[in-house]
C-alpha cells in the first residue's frame, strides 16, 4: 500500500515538473540589447507554431496602412496563421496593386525606350503625321507625273505646279464659263427692279450627296460619307428629297457650283449631273461661294439697302435683329426650318409676307425654298447659307 502511494506521488511530481519546463520553454526570450543601434520601426510579432516561434518575415510598411480602415494587426496575424497552415500564401490586394504599378512603369519605360533618343511622344506623333502627309502628297502628285513621263526621258527642273499650270492652259477650251460676282449682283438688282423671279442657289457636298443617292452611290455609302446630312436637312435614304432637289436646280436662274476639288465637291458634280441627264452647259452657273463674294466685294450691303427683306432659317431671329440694328428693312422672318420636310410650310408662310428679297439659310432645303418662292411669288431669292451665322457672330461687317 505504501509502495503504491509513493509511486503515485512520484508521477505527480514528474508531470508538474514537465509542465514547468514546458512553460519555461514557451516563455518569450528577451532580445539582447545592442549598443548605438539606429532607431527602427517595431518588427511584427512572431507567429507561434507547434514547434515554437516561427522566423520573422519582413513586411513592407505600405502594405499595412494604419489609417485606411484596414484590418487590425491581430486580424492580420490570424490571417498569417491560416496561410501558414493551408500552404502557399495567396497574393494580397496590396501586393497585386504594387506589382501592377511596377509592371505599368516597366511598360512605360519600354515605350520610352522605343522612341529615338531625345524624342518625346509629341514629337514622334508630329513626325509621323508629317511623314504621312508627305507620302500622300507624293502619291497624289509627283508619282502621277512620274508615271506620265516616258522612262527614257528626264524632265529637268520643272515643278509639279508648273506642269499643272501648263496642262490647265491647254484645257481652257474645254472649260465652262461662270458668272462672276458682279454679274450675279447686277442680275439680282435688275430682277428686283423689274419685279421678275430670280433664284440664286448654291450646291455643296450636302446637295451633291443627296443627288447621288442610288444613282452614283448606294445608300450605305451615302450614310457613311454623309454623316452630316441629317444636320443639313436630309435623312438618307430619301429619294423624294433627291428628286425635288434636282427639279429645283433645273428651274433655278443661277446655280452656284463648287470649284474646290475636294472629295464630294467638284469631283462629284459631273457624275451627279450625268446620272440625272443634266447638261451643265444649259445652266447659268457661278461659284458656289458667291454669297461670300458679295460680302468681300462690298456689294452685299448695296444689294440689301432699301429692300424689304424676308429672312428664313434657324438663325433668322438673330439675323433680323442684326440687320435692323444696321438700318436695313426686315419685313418678315420664318423660323425654324426643320429640313426638307418643312419646305411646304415655309412656302405657305411666305405667302403672307410682302418683300423684295428673300435671304434663305436652311441647308439643303434652301435650294428648294429659293426656287419655289421665286417662281410662285415672282421674287428674288438668295441661298444665304452660313453667311447668316458669320454676320450674327460679327465675322462679316455689313455697310450700306
Distance CA 156, CA 52 (A): 94
The residue range of the domain holding 142 is 128-174
Number of domains in the chain: 2
Among residues 174, 208, 236, the one where a domain terminates is 174
CB atoms within 10 A of CB 251: 14
Question: Which range among 98-112, 155-169, 305-319 shows the weakest confidence by mean pLDDT?
Answer: 98-112
Residues 148 and 247 in one domain: no
**Res. 118 pLDDT band, cuts 50 70 90:** low
User: 200 lies in a domain?
Assistant: yes
pLDDT tens, position by position, 193-204? 999 999 999 999
Residues 208 and 357 in one domain: yes
CA distances from 111 to 101, 114, 123, 125, 157 (A): 15, 5, 14, 13, 43
The 3-class secondary structure across the chain, one letter per residue, is CHHHHHHHHHHHHHHHHHHHHHHHHHCCCCCCCCCCCCCCCCCCCCCEECCEECCCCCCCHHHCCCCCCCCCHHHHHHHHHHHHHHCCCCCCHHHHHHHHHHHHHHHHHHHHHHCCCCCCHHHHHHHHHHHHHHHHHHHHHHHHHHHHCCCCCCCCCCCHHHHHHHHHHHCHHHCCCCECHHHHHHHHHHHHHHCCCEEEEECCHHHHHHHCECCCECHHHHHHHCCCHHHHCCCCCCHHHHHHHHHHHHHCCEEEECCCCCCCCHHHHHHHHHHCCCCHHHCCEEECCHHHHHHHCCHHHHHHCCCEEEEEECCHHHHHHHHHHCCCEEEEEECCCCCHHHHHHHHHHHCCCCCCEEEEECCCHHHHHHHHHHHHHCCEEEECCCHHHHHHCCCCCCCC
Residues 199 and 167 in one domain: no
User: 155 lies in a domain?
Assistant: yes
Residues 283 and 166 in one domain: no
Global pTM?
0.70
Q: pLDDT at position 60, please? A: 47
User: 2 lies in a domain?
Assistant: no
Residues 218 and 198 in one domain: yes
Q: Is the pLDDT of residue 379 over 80?
A: yes
Q: Is the pLDDT of residue 108 over 60?
A: no
Residues 155 and 193 in one domain: no
Q: Is the pLDDT of residue 351 over 60?
A: yes
69: cell is 480602415
Residues 150 and 245 in one domain: no
Residues 223 and 163 in one domain: no
Q: pLDDT at position 399, please? A: 80
User: 356 lies in a domain?
Assistant: yes
CA angle, residues 223, 241, 290, in degrees to nearest 5? 90
pLDDT tens, position by position, 39-60? 454 444 444 444 444 444 444 4
CA distances from 384 to 184, 244, 293, 298, 387 (A): 14, 20, 11, 16, 6
Q: pLDDT at position 119, please? A: 63
Among residues 174, 208, 228, the one where a domain terminates is 174
CA angle, residues 64, 79, 41, in degrees to nearest 5? 35
Among residues 154, 174, 194, the one where a domain terminates is 174
What average pLDDT does range 296-305 have in this prediction?
A: 97
Residues 369 and 243 in one domain: yes
Q: pLDDT at position 24, please? A: 42
User: 383 lies in a domain?
Assistant: yes
Residues 149 and 214 in one domain: no
Q: pLDDT at position 398, please? A: 87
CA distances from 37 to 40, 57, 60, 152, 288 (A): 9, 20, 21, 89, 88
User: 375 lies in a domain?
Assistant: yes
Q: At what angle do helices 239-251 and 365-377 cross, to 10 degrees?
A: 50
User: 311 lies in a domain?
Assistant: yes
Residues 236 and 376 in one domain: yes
Q: pLDDT at position 138, please? A: 95
CA distances from 248 to 71, 342, 361 (A): 78, 15, 16
Distance CA 217, CA 358 (A): 33
User: 38 lies in a domain?
Assistant: no
pLDDT tens, position by position, 202-255? 999 999 999 999 999 999 999 999 999 999 999 999 999 999 999 999 999 999
Residues 199 and 297 in one domain: yes
Amino acid at each position: 500500500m505504501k509502495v503504491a502511494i509513493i509511486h503515485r506521488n512520484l508521477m505527480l511530481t514528474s508531470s508538474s515538473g514537465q509542465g514547468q519546463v514546458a512553460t519555461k520553454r514557451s516563455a518569450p526570450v528577451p532580445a539582447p540589447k545592442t549598443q548605438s543601434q539606429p532607431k527602427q520601426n517595431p518588427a511584427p510579432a512572431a507567429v507561434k507554431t507547434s514547434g515554437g516561434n516561427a522566423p520573422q518575415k519582413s513586411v513592407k510598411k505600405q502594405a499595412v496602412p494604419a489609417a485606411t480602415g484596414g484590418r487590425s494587426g491581430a486580424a492580420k496575424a490570424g490571417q498569417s496563421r491560416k496561410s501558414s497552415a493551408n500552404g502557399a500564401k495567396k497574393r494580397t490586394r496590396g501586393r497585386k496593386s504594387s506589382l501592377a504599378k511596377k509592371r505599368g512603369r516597366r511598360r512605360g519605360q519600354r515605350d520610352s525606350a522605343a522612341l529615338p533618343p531625345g524624342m518625346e511622344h509629341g514629337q514622334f506623333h508630329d513626325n509621323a503625321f508629317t511623314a504621312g502627309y508627305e507620302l500622300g502628297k507624293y502619291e497624289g502628285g509627283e508619282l502621277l507625273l512620274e508615271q506620265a513621263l516616258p522612262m527614257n526621258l528626264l524632265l529637268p527642273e520643272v515643278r509639279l505646279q508648273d506642269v499643272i499650270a501648263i496642262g490647265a492652259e491647254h484645257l481652257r477650251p474645254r472649260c465652262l464659263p461662270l458668272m462672276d460676282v458682279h454679274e450675279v449682283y447686277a442680275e439680282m438688282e435688275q430682277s428686283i427692279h423689274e419685279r421678275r423671279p430670280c433664284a440664286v442657289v448654291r450646291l455643296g457636298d450636302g446637295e451633291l450627296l443627296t443627288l447621288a443617292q442610288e444613282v452614283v452611290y448606294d445608300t450605305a455609302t451615302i450614310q457613311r460619307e454623309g454623316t452630316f446630312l441629317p444636320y443639313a436637312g436630309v435623312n438618307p435614304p430619301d429619294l423624294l428629297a433627291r428628286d425635288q432637289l434636282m427639279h429645283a436646280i433645273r428651274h433655278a436662274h443661277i446655280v452656284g457650283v463648287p470649284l474646290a476639288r475636294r472629295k464630294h465637291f467638284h469631283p462629284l458634280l459631273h457624275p451627279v449631273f450625268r446620272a440625272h441627264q443634266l447638261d451643265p452647259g444649259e445652266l447659268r452657273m457661278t461659284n458656289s461661294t458667291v454669297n461670300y463674294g458679295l460680302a468681300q466685294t462690298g456689294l452685299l450691303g448695296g444689294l440689301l439697302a432699301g429692300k424689304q427683306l424676308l429672312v428664313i432659317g434657324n438663325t433668322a431671329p438673330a439675323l433680323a435683329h442684326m440687320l435692323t440694328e444696321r438700318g436695313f428693312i426686315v419685313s418678315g422672318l420664318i423660323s425654324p426650318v426643320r429640313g426638307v420636310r418643312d419646305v411646304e410650310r415655309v412656302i405657305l408662310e411666305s405667302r403672307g409676307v410682302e418683300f423684295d428679297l428673300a435671304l434663305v439659310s436652311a441647308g439643303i432645303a434652301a435650294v428648294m425654298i429659293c426656287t419655289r418662292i421665286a417662281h410662285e411669288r415672282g421674287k428674288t431669292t438668295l441661298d444665304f447659307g452660313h453667311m447668316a451665322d458669320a454676320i450674327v457672330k460679327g465675322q462679316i461687317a455689313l455697310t450700306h
